[in-house]
Amino acid sequence: MPGAAAKSIAIPPGMTGATFAGTLSADSDAEFVIGEEKGTLMLVSVNAEAADPKIAVYRADNGASLPDEHPDNIAHWIERLPESIGYLIVVEKTGTATPFTLNVEVPRQVIFDEAQNSETVFGATAHSVTTFIVPPSQSINAELVGAPSDALLVINTLDDGKKMLAANEAKRSYSGAPGRTDDDIVVRVHQGATGGDLKLRIKRQ
């Protein structure tokens, strides 16, 4: 159950993620409470300069542990939420003071027409990240159009996190196969230094 020091976090309206940066105490866990709707796909990750701390997620109403679909990667947690309630995210202590960044995402599901095309127009603030989920595909073509020149795409498979397009490539388009066709695909749109509207086009096979 949440302790007295648990911090409340929320994903701002119209956005798909929230980030918290802090330092994990050597002898105590960091706790966060977030409220989300039943069926929401929630992605939680923690990054640290040294070893990434372990993440655990619990129901905030009765303390029941939620299973992690990716137990081999302790710094990532992915699951569809079973109820419309509060959830407790625990970043577990490592024995040393550890600066860390916690990322919580609730991606938007990409909806395709009968020809398997999709076009999404959305607004984004400066330096924000908007996350989308594409269902398993043989291949995808993704392109940013009508976006600031410094906006870029980052793409990876959901389950194993395999990179299809990395941020350091600074690309606005991608065409290719995911490597495995039984896994959802995560498409992240990184907005540049100026906020505004973007258009994302995706075709899948």
Q: How many domains does the chain have?
A: 2
Q: How is residue 114 annotated by DSSP?
A: T
Q: Does a structural domain hold residue 1?
A: no
pLDDT more than 70, % of the chain: 97
For residues 79 and 138, membership in a common domain is answered with no
Q: pLDDT (tens digit, 9 = 90+) per residue, 60-109?
A: 999 999 987 666 666 689 999 999 999 999 999 989 999 999 999 999 99
Q: How confident is the model at residue 52 (pLDDT cuts 50, 70, 90)?
A: confident
CB–CB of 99/53 below 8 Å?
no
Q: What CA–CA distance (Å, rounded) separates 89 from 199? A: 33
End residue of a domain, out of 61, 80, 105: 105
Residue at 149: amino acid letter: S
User: Looking at the structure, do residues 67 and 150 belong to the same domain, yes or no?
Assistant: no
Q: Is the pLDDT of residue 50 over 90?
A: no
Strand 7-8 relative to strand 30-36, pairing: parallel
Q: Which domain holds residue 126?
A: 108-204
CATH number of the CATH domain containing 143: 2.60.120.380
